[in-house]
Chains A and B, each alone.
Chain A
Amino acid sequence: MKGLYAIYRKEMGHYFVSPVAYIIVGVFLFLCSYFFTRLLTAVIENSLEASMSGGGGAFDVPSIVVRYFFGTVSTILLFLTPTLTMGVYSEERKRGTMEMLMTSPVSDTAIVLGKYLASMTLLVIMLAPTFLYSAYMFFHSEPAAPWRVLLTAYLGVLLLGGALLALGSFFSSLTESQIIASILTFGAALLLWVLDYGQPGSGPVASTMQYLSIFRHVEDFTRGVIDTSSLIFYASFICFGLFLTVRSLDSMRWRRA
C-alpha cells in the first residue's frame, strides 16, 4: 500500500495548489459562520423571552443550537461536496493520467482509497474551524452543556460527508466531464435526502425509505445519540460507494477503445 500514500500526497497537493480547495473551504466557513451567529442570536432571544414570561425551566441553548446548526451544515455539505469530488477521476481521465496510474504497480483499490482519504482530510480541514465557535459557546454556557452532544454531532456530520464523498467519487469515475459528475452526485444526494418525504409513517416501504434517507441519520447524532443502525448505515454506504468506484475503474480496462 505504498502507492496509496503516494496517491494521497498527490491529491492533497492538488487540492491546495489550485484555488479550488481554498474557495470551497472559504465559502463553507462563511456560510457556517453566518448561520451559526443567526441561530445563536435567535435561540438566546427565544430563551430570554421564555424566561421573562415565566414559562418553563432551563433552556438548553447549546444543545438546541447544535441541533439546528448541524442540520444546516448537512445542507451546505449537500451543495458543496459534489464540487470536491467532481474532478477526482474525471479530470484524470480527461488528462490521460488515468492511463499512467492504471499501468503503474498500484492496485485500483489503493488508487480509490488514496483519493478518498484525501477528500476526507479536506472535509476535516473544512469542518475543523467550526469547532472553535461551537466550543466557545459550550465553554461559556451556564450551566455547563454536555460536550458529548458536540462530539457526536461532529461524528455524524463527518459520516454524512464521507458518504457524500464516496457517492461523488463513484460518479466522477463514470465520466470525463466534471460538470456531469457534479450534477449526478448532487441529484443522487438530493434524491437520497428527500426519499422519506411523503411516506406515511409506518409500513415496510416507508420504513425502508426512511432508513435509506441519508440525512435522517444525522439527526440522532446531533442529539448526542450514537445509533448503531446509523453507524452501520453510513459505514456500509461508504464501503459500497468505494466498491463501486473500484469496479468502475476496473471496467475502464474493458470498455475503452
Chain B
Amino acid sequence: MIEVQDLTKSFGEKTAVDHVSFTVNKGEILGFLGPNGAGKTTTMRILTGFLPATSGTAKIAGFDVFDDSMEVRRRIGYLPEAPPLYTDMTVWSYLDFVARIKNVPAERRKTLIENALVKTNLEDKRDELIKRLSRGYKQRVGIAQAMVHDPDVIILDEPTVGLDPKQIIEVRHLIKSLAGSHTIILSTHILPEVSMTCDRVVIISAGKVVAVDTPANLTSQLKGGQRVRLEAEADEVALRAALQEIPAIHHIDVEPAGGSGRIAATVESAQGEDVRSQIAAKVVGRGWPLYELRGMSVSLEDVFLQLTTEDSEHAAKPAKN
C-alpha cells in the first residue's frame, strides 16, 4: 500500500531524512518510532504531499506522492502533530467541512460523518464548539477528521501526545479498531504505544532507519541475556564477591538502596539460565537478609536505546564521505 524508496530530505545543510526505505502492507499498522527530531514528522509530511522530497520516491496505493499528489491526497487522512482545528466551528460543521474538501459526495457525507463520530466517541459532542472541548476531545476530533472520508491510508503524527492515561488507552483501541480496513502509519516517541498497537515498527534515528521488524522480534533479538535484580542487607564488596562465584553471571551492578545498609544489585547472566535460585542460596547461605529477587525482561525501551545510541556512534563515520 505504501512504498518508500531511498527517501531523502535536506533543509539546507541539514539532512532531516536520509535514504529512508520501508513498505507498509494493506491493513497494517506501522509504528514510526524515534527520538524527537529524528525525522518522523518530515517523513510523514512528504508522504502527505505537504513537503517535496529532495530525492527518492514514495508511493501510496501506486501513486507517486509528488507527481500524483491529488490522487494521493484523496486517499489519505492526516493528523498533524497539533490537531488542525477551526476552534470556532462545531464538531459537526467542522467534520462536514473536512468531508467536503476531501471530495466526499453529498449523499455519503452524512453517513460517513456519523460513522466517524461513533468511532471516536464524539456523538454527544457533535453540536459543541471545538474551542469548548477538552484536550482529549480535541485530539479525537483531530482523529475523526483524518478518517471522516474513509481513506485507504491514515497517517497520525503522535496521536496520543498530551492525553491522560485513560484517553491514551481509548485512542490506542480506536487506532487498533481502524486497522484492517485502513492502512495506518503512526509516529510516536512513546515505546509502549508501539508494542501495544503496531504490527511492525520502523525505528528511525537521526534521519536513518535503524531497524524494521515486529515489536516481538525486536525485543527477542536483542535479548542477549537475562537480568535479575536483588535487594539485600549486606556489605557491598562482599556481595559482589559472593555473586561473582556464580559462573553464569557476567555482569554485576551494585548500588546502595533504600537506607539501613541495603544494597541493590542488577545482574546479567547468559541466556537460558535462571540464576535466581543460585543467588538466593548464596545470599541466604551467608546469613544476609534478602528483601527482593526478581527477573527483569528486556523491554522495547532497551532495544530502542541500544539501537539509537549505537546508530549515532556508527553513523559518525560513513556520514563523512
Contact = CB atoms under 8 A, between A and B. Distances in A.
B19 to A, nearest CB: 19
Given A103-B50, A254-B52, A257-B11, A14 B103 contact: no
A140 interface: no
Interface in A76-101: 95-97, 99-101
A47 B208 CA distance: 82
A95 B85 contact: yes
A197 to B, nearest CB: 42
A6 B86 CA distance: 14
Nearest to B77: A103
A90 to B, nearest CB: 15
Contacts of A100: 78, 80, 84, 98, 145
Given A2-B103, A7-B101, A105 B88 contact: no
Interface stretch (B68-76, B185-193, B302-310): B68-76
Given A103-B76, A105-B73, A6 B50 contact: no
A13 B49 CA distance: 28
Nearest to B76: A103
Contacts of A253: 50-52
A2 B100 CA distance: 8
A6 B73 contact: no
Contacts of A257: 11, 16
Contacts of B178: none
User: Max chain B CB contacts within 10 Å: which of A5, A14, A17, A104?
Assistant: A104
User: Max chain B CB contacts within 10 Å: which of A18, A95, A107?
Assistant: A95
Chain A interface helix/strand/loop/mixed: helix
A100 B98 CA distance: 9
Contacts, number: 72
Contacts of B85: 95, 97
B307 to A, nearest CB: 25
Interface in A1-26: 2-3, 5-7, 9-10, 13-14, 17-18
Contact of B93 (A13, A96, A101, A256): A13
B82 A103 contact: no
B22 interface: no
Interface in B48-107: 48-52, 70, 73-74, 76, 78, 80-89, 93, 97-98, 100-103
Contacts of A99: 45, 50, 78, 80, 84
A106 B88 contact: no
Q: What class of interface size applies to chain A in its complex with B?
A: 20 to 34
Contacts of B93: 13
A179 interface: no
Q: What class of interface size applies to chain B in its complex with A?
A: 20 to 34
B95 to A, nearest CB: 12
Nearest to A110: B101
A107 B69 CA distance: 10
Contact of B103 (A3, A101, A254): A3
Nearest to B97: A10
A102 interface: yes
Interface in A228-257: 253-254, 256-257
Nearest to B50: A103
A81 B193 CA distance: 49
Contact of B101 (A3, A13, A95): A3
A103 B154 CA distance: 12
Contact of B78 (A7, A103, A106, A254): A103
A10 B11 CA distance: 34
Nearest to B48: A103
Interface string A94-130: 0111011111111100000000000000000000000
User: Max chain B CB contacts within 10 Å: which of A95, A99, A105, A106?
Assistant: A105
A257 B81 CA distance: 14
Given A13-B89, A103-B48, 16 more contacts: A2-B100, A6-B97, A10-B86, A95-B86, A96-B80, A99-B45, A99-B80, A100-B80, A102-B50, A103-B49, A103-B73, A103-B78, A104-B98, A253-B50, A253-B51, A256-B51
- Sort A-B residue pairs by CB-CB distance and give the 5 closest, nearest first: A6-B100, A100-B84, A97-B84, A103-B48, A105-B73
8 contacts: A2-B100, A9-B97, A95-B84, A97-B85, A104-B102, A105-B103, A256-B51, A257-B16
